[in-house]
Amino acid sequence: MKKLNSKYYLIIFCVFYILLIGVMGAYIYHAFQLKCKEIVTTVHTRIDNLEESGILNKYTIKKENEQYRMLLEIVHGKKTLDEFKEFNKKILKAREEHFSHLIDSLFVNEKYEVAVRYDMSQLTLHDQKKELLEAPITLLQTSRKVEKSYKTNTSNWEVQESSERTDVREEEKEYKHHFSLYQNQYIDIKNIISIALLSLLPLLILTAIVAISLLVVYYIAYRTIKQKEKEVDNLYNMVDNVSHEFKLPIATLKYGCNNLALEYQSPTIDLLMRQVNRLDRLQNSLTPYMTSDNNPYTVKDLTQMMDDLRQLYPEVKLYEQWDAQEEVLLDKTKMETILLNLIENSIKYGGTAIQCNISTNDKHYIFSVLDNGIGIAKDQQRDIFKKFYRIREGNIHNTTGLGIGLYQVQQIVESLNGQININSKPQKGTTFIITIPYV
């Protein structure tokens, strides 16, 4: 799988970070709305209680006060609406200070800055089907003026009076005046935003800490990843340089071995030649693209490889079994790289008895390498095919090597559309099974 560029990780983090900030912002906004609603409900309830106590009866239009009696005179035609307005204007200013003190006294502990206003919004004469008010008339207000109403209440009276001023409940009477009066109450809380935010201050601080901590953690992780990427790139460059420097010595060794083979016939020279060729293949495996010799792999190749390994590792018991046709129609270099890496990996990790099998079925070549080594822990089996990965025992490498053998095996198998399966138990051994479809 192709590795994502670091800039894509940055983009992905930014997207999820913005989503997280959006979720936290939505939660805070919802909490803010609930707090504002709670404040408004508290204010409205206390003002309603104040009204029910009767303290405001002499200020708003009630049957007991002067404003109501003057409205009756307007309905009877004895006074004009302009006279009522002039009268109301005089008493409005006089009552404002006392009414403000009453309202402020309700919220001393909470320090709410509350503005209240009562308006007469409608005065309708039903008998004449006439609306007397062209615009609302303010009857009572605090010194703080209502600008944004968080709560509005409307109360209305419907009054019927006869010429004898008798109440409408006696249905046998004949009525001369029938009118409706609408009165609105407006409530504004000037400092509701600051109070709500102050109550949410712990939540805001915690949210800010979480958001900043995420940024700091990501910055540290991103910087560390970039540093590690740079180190890995340097390692790759070093390996490429070493591989390049090996080419001339290997070519010289090949030339020398070929000249020796012309002058002497010796199994030792044949062994040297095979090992030099193997060294050449290993050197090529360090480059991005492996060369191909297009030669099939035969039972003779397997036998020679196992004989060479027996000379190199006389203390290890090596067994091979060929249950396929005489030739496997796969590249010889790739086959040797797969089998040598698996076998030498088994030897490095404690294998003293190793079995190499080559067989076929209807659709696949099957290669297996079994050993009795230390095994591979379950949590490490997915990582062993990573380039430069080494199995760790207590964070100390117990065997030497570059950690590219199994990586090279995986690259070759994937290029041939094959699969690798591992069956391993710690301290009991490991079995690698490779299946590759016929070409």
More confident residue, 163 or 16: 16
Q: What is the CATH number of the domain that holds 425?
A: 3.30.565.10
- Phi/psi for 378 (5° steps) reads -60, -40
Is residue 321 within 8 A of residue 357, CB to CB? The reply is yes
Residue 48 resides in a domain: yes
Reply yes or no on whether the pLDDT at 166 is more than 50: no
Same domain, 13 and 146: yes
User: What is the arithmetic mean of pLDDT over 356-381?
Assistant: 89
Same domain, 181 and 65: yes
Most confident of 238-247, 366-375, 387-396: 366-375
Same domain, 318 and 190: no
Reply yes or no on whether the pLDDT at 216 is more than 60: yes
3-class DSSP state for residue 292? coil
What's the domain range around 18? Answer: 6-160+176-199
- 393 band by pLDDT with thresholds 50, 70 and 90: low
How far apart are the C-alpha atoms of 32 and 196, rounded to whole Å?
6
Residue 206 resides in a domain: no
> What rounded mean pLDDT belongs to the chain?
82
Is residue 60 within 8 A of residue 118, CB to CB? The reply is yes
Same domain, 191 and 317: no
pLDDT given for residue 53 in this prediction: 82
pLDDT given for residue 73 in this prediction: 80
Same domain, 294 and 192: no
Residue 352 resides in a domain: yes
C-alpha angle 218-221-223 in degrees, rounded to nearest 5: 105
Residue 350 resides in a domain: yes
Split into its structural domains, the chain has a count of 2
Q: What are the structure tokens assigned to 174, written together?
A: 């004949």
- Residues paired with 186 in a beta bridge: 117, 152
Reply yes or no on whether the pLDDT at 346 is more than 70: yes
Residue 373 resides in a domain: yes
Model confidence pTM above 0.75: no
Reply yes or no on whether the pLDDT at 433 is more than 90: yes
Is residue 111 within 8 A of residue 164, CB to CB? The reply is no
How far apart are the C-alpha atoms of 391 and 397, rounded to whole Å?
7
User: What is the arithmetic mean of pLDDT over 338-344?
Assistant: 89
Residue 101 resides in a domain: yes
Polymer length of the chain = 439
Reply yes or no on whether the pLDDT at 240 is more than 90: no
**Per-residue pLDDT tens for 12-39?**
888 999 999 999 999 999 999 999 999 9
- 62 band by pLDDT with thresholds 50, 70 and 90: low
Residue 391 resides in a domain: yes
pLDDT given for residue 126 in this prediction: 79
**Per-residue pLDDT tens for 395-410?**
333 455 667 778 888 8
Same domain, 324 and 183: no
Is residue 59 within 8 A of residue 139, CB to CB? The reply is yes
- Phi/psi for 396 (5° steps) reads -125, 125
- Phi/psi for 390 (5° steps) reads -125, 135
Residues 6+ apart with CB under 8 A from 164: 173
- 292 band by pLDDT with thresholds 50, 70 and 90: low
Residue 168 resides in a domain: no
Same domain, 190 and 326: no
- Residues paired with 119 in a beta bridge: 138, 184
How far apart are the C-alpha atoms of 20 and 16, rounded to whole Å?
6
Last residue of a domain, one of 184, 199, 214: 199
Same domain, 415 and 296: yes
